[in-house]
């Protein structure tokens, strides 16, 4: 079997001081999150997600004037405290999404960090590269140690302006060091999220993990996000593999 991991960013890649800081207040965490599914299930899963997206967000899609196949709703905009409380259909669709991932033999995956670097020394590019490298290593362990016989994987990411640098980092993980990530078949593919339903699904998962990350790492500063623990934490953790926010 070959898996394909679809990952998108959660949190914010820039520096963070505190929620009440006038400038560096976006999110205390940053990372990559999404889903891992068997590659032969990808087409059917993308179709299923497209149908659920159209059902849930029909009004917004029609208002946009775009064809729904190239319209997207970012997870960070979808999963707000207000939306989760006000719209039970959003909660139901999310539960169905998590169940669908499980039913096709998939898993939830996320890796991230609580940001502690001083703004003067914070390097967003290095942070992204290091998180990507860690994600590749963890996915390699998922395929190498969690399956017998070992499996292989492909990695699909949302487009990023540092494409060349990130591909170089991935190549280092594939071929360099004492323990290269031998289960990764090719360097990551970078996809335009508005054209790929599977990347949009990953972005919705990333939106959830971003909210949970704030309450996991700074519960006193982000108390309103406890609603995400109440509705989604147990299901997400039960479905995760090789995941965590340091």
- The pLDDT tens digits for 25-45 are 999 999 999 999 999 999 999
What confidence category does residue 125 fall into, taking pLDDT thresholds of 50, 70 and 90? very high
Are residues 166 and 174 in contact, defined by beta-carbon separation less than 8 angstroms? Answer: no
pLDDT of 42: 98
Instruction: Estimate to the nearest angstrom the gap between the alpha carbon of 190 and the chain centroid.
Output: 14
pLDDT of 104: 98
- Mean predicted confidence (pLDDT) in 121-134: 95
pLDDT of 188: 95
pLDDT of 228: 98
pTM score: 0.97
Provide the mean pLDDT of the chain. 96
How many helices (H) and strands (E) the chain has is answered by: 10, 6
What confidence category does residue 63 fall into, taking pLDDT thresholds of 50, 70 and 90? very high
Q: 153-207 pLDDT, tens per residue?
A: 999 999 888 888 889 999 999 998 788 999 999 999 999 999 999 999 999 999 9
C-alpha pair distances (Å), 201 with each of 3, 35, 50, 91, 206: 16, 8, 9, 15, 9
pLDDT of 213: 98
- Mean predicted confidence (pLDDT) in 143-149: 96
Give me the phi and psi of 177, to 5 degrees please.
Answer: 75, 180
- Mean predicted confidence (pLDDT) in 73-81: 98
What confidence category does residue 245 fall into, taking pLDDT thresholds of 50, 70 and 90? very high
Residue 223 pLDDT exceeds 80? yes
CA distance 147 to 153: 12
Note the residue count of the chain.
Answer: 246
CA distance 15 to 41: 38
pLDDT of 179: 87
pLDDT of 110: 98
Residue 57 pLDDT exceeds 80? yes
Show the beta-strand stretches assigned E in the chain. 2-11, 29-38, 107-114, 152-158, 189-191, 244-245
Please identify which residue in the block is written with the tokens 């960013």: 9
pLDDT of 176: 86
């Amino acid at each position: 079997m070959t898996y394909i991991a679809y990952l998108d960013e959660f949190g914010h890649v820039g520096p963070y001081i505190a929620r009440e800081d006038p400038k560096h207040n976006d999110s205390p965490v940053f990372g990559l999150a999404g889903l891992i599914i068997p590659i032969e299930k990808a087409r059917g899963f993308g179709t299923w997600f497209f149908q659920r997206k159209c059902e849930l967000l029909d009004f917004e899609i029609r208002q946009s004037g775009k064809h729904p196949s190239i319209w997207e709703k970012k997870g960070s905009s979808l999963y707000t405290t207000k939306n989760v409380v006000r719209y039970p259909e959003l909660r139901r669709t999310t539960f169905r999404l998590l169940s669908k991932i499980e039913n096709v033999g998939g898993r939830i995956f996320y890796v991230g960090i609580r940001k502690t670097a001083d703004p003067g020394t914070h390097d967003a590019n290095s942070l992204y590269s290091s998180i990507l490298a860690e994600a590749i290593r963890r996915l390699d362990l998922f395929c190498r140690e969690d399956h017998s016989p070992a499996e292989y994987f492909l990695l699909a990411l949302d487009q990023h302006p540092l494409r060349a640098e990130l591909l170089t980092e991935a190549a280092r993980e594939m071929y360099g060091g004492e323990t290269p990530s031998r289960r990764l078949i090719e360097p990551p593919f970078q996809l335009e999220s508005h054209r790929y339903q599977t990347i949009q699904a990953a972005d919705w998962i990333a939106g959830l993990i971003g909210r949970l990350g704030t309450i996991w790492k700074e519960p006193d500063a982000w108390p309103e996000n406890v609603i995400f623990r109440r509705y989604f934490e147990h299901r997400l953790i039960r479905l995760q593999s090789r995941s965590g926010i340091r």
